[in-house]
Structure 1
Amino acid sequence: MGDVSGKRPTITHVIFDMDGLLLDTEKFYTEVQETILARFNKTFDWSLKAKMMGMKAIEAARVFVEETGISDSLSAEDFLVERESMLQSLFPTSELMPGASRLIEHLHAKGVPICLATGSHRRHFELKTQRHGELFKLMHHIVLGDDPEVKKGKPAPDVFLAAARRFEGGPIDSEKILVFEDAPAGARAAKNAGISEARQLPPRHSRSSLEFLNGFQPK
């Protein structure tokens, strides 16, 4: 039976998204997609980017080619191949978002179990984090977009449900989990997983996100 006292359960576990939240990588996707669209005299706007964020790659690619009107000239699969070749050279230069390291290290030092739940596939994750391995080792576990348990990308709840199950003693009660996200699809995925405590940072205004991470005071 759930808590009927009216008191909010104590947060005991934290799940982080990665791209645009812990790592400043969203700019790479924007840069590459703008380059591809320029060939078709098209522009890449924020509303489309927000819709794609958090999705599995092929799902996002289908949205991209359909909504930009280039699907007759470039298939979703060919778009991914072209994009991949450009991203491979950019991902190893990924930088941590200011405040991210401090927050993760603080939570780890306080004994708060933390994990990562990202739509990135393993090959991309390894490229993006190769300069920040020590920090990501502080995660109790990491759930990636190509994990066998993640059948559907965000906003489906798969990645967060898998993350909650893999904590020691899991699955952890969703009411005791705090999620940090930057994408609307990610925030919806958390809600769909039954997690009511989700901090969605404003990805369009990266400075606001940085200030939030720098100013967040975990208990």
Structure 2
Amino acid sequence: MTTFKPVTHVLFDMDGLILNTEELYTVAYQNVLNDYGKTYTFELKTKLMGFQSHESAKTIISELNLPLTPEEFNEATKKQFELIFPDTQVMPGAKRLIEHLHKHNVPIALATSSSIESYELKVNKHHQELFSLFQYKTFGSSDPEVQRGKPYPDIFLVSAKRFPDKPQPHQCLVFEDAVNGVKAARAAGMQVVMVPDPRTDKCLTAEATLVLHSLEEFKPELFGLPPFDN
């Protein structure tokens, strides 16, 4: 059986891992692209997952040859987000895991590429109680300390240093759904559990420490964390 190194701190991505927002991003982007006769493919989506918002806009405009500036594209998508993000749903196993780690005093933090405005749209209506369990939150598209988006390690390094005891990278475990997020965690020197979209090519998941179909499958004791009570 593969053995993993014990960890003391846990960092969570949000979109597509805790909340079902990756599928909502697809809807929002496609609604904007319909006006230009373009399609938001899964291949393009895979390339963008984990990017900061301005990076996503630039890439979509370039890949699809859109007659828009990044600012215009982001303004159009913002209107879509305001309509659909308030009704996000929690992904299977996420609530149980977050509450379990919090109950057992395992330091946990949120490390999302979303802006704080986008986060509030996704969380404020239904999920404030769950997300209040994260004492530390880093918003990649808003935080000036996060100079580069995933696949660069910035967001995880910035997030980890906000714990008062300043854990070393090898003491941190990251949960991610995106290929770029896995690359960022590995570049930061951290182990990473990946819960990819089932359409993701298996060869793109090879860098992950552990790949799961769902957070429901995760066994905390594999990484030296307190096991589930039942």
Q: TM-score, normalised by structure 2?
A: 0.85
Q: CA deviation at 1:168?
A: 2.3
Indicate whether 1:202 and 2:196 are aligned: yes
Match of 1:153 in 2: 149
Tell me the amino acid that sits aligned with residue 213 of structure 1. Answer: L
Q: CA deviation at 1:155?
A: 1.3
Q: Is the 8 A contact 2:196 2:213 kept in 1?
A: no
Amino-acid identity (%) = 42
**Pair 174,107 (structure 1): closer, same or farther in 2 beyond 3 Å:** same
Match of 1:87 in 2: 81
Match of 1:166 in 2: 162
In the alignment, which of 130, 133, 137 is matched to residue 138 of structure 1?
A: 133
Tell me the amino acid that sits aligned with residue 60 of structure 2. Answer: F
Instruction: Tell me how far apart the structure 2 counterparts of residues 129 and 162 of structure 1 sit (CA, whole Å).
Output: 22
**Pair 210,201 (structure 1): closer, same or farther in 2 beyond 3 Å:** closer
Instruction: Tell me how far apart the structure 1 counterparts of residues 159 and 105 of structure 2 sit (CA, whole Å).
Output: 17
Q: CA deviation at 1:93?
A: 0.8
Indicate whether 1:28 and 2:31 are aligned: no
Tell me the amino acid that sits aligned with residue 191 of structure 1. Answer: R
List runs of 5+ in structure 1 lacking aligned partners: 1-6
CA offsets 1:130-156 (integer angstroms, 9 cap, x no match): 111111111131111211211111112
* Root-mean-square deviation (Å): 1.8
Instruction: Tell me how far apart the structure 1 counterparts of residues 147 and 176 of structure 2 sit (CA, whole Å).
Output: 20
CA offsets 1:24-77 (integer angstroms, 9 cap, x no match): 11112101211222222221111100111111111111100111122xx22222
Match of 1:187 in 2: 182
In the alignment, which of 50, 53, 57 is matched to residue 61 of structure 1?
A: 57
Tell me the amino acid that sits aligned with residue 184 of structure 1. Answer: V
Q: Is the 8 A contact 1:98 1:210 kept in 2?
A: no
Q: Is the 8 A contact 1:99 1:210 kept in 2?
A: no
Match of 2:218 in 1: 216
Indicate whether 1:110 and 2:112 are aligned: no
Q: Is the 8 A contact 2:13 2:175 kept in 1?
A: yes
Tell me the amino acid that sits aligned with residue 92 of structure 2. Answer: P
Q: CA deviation at 1:210?
A: 8.6
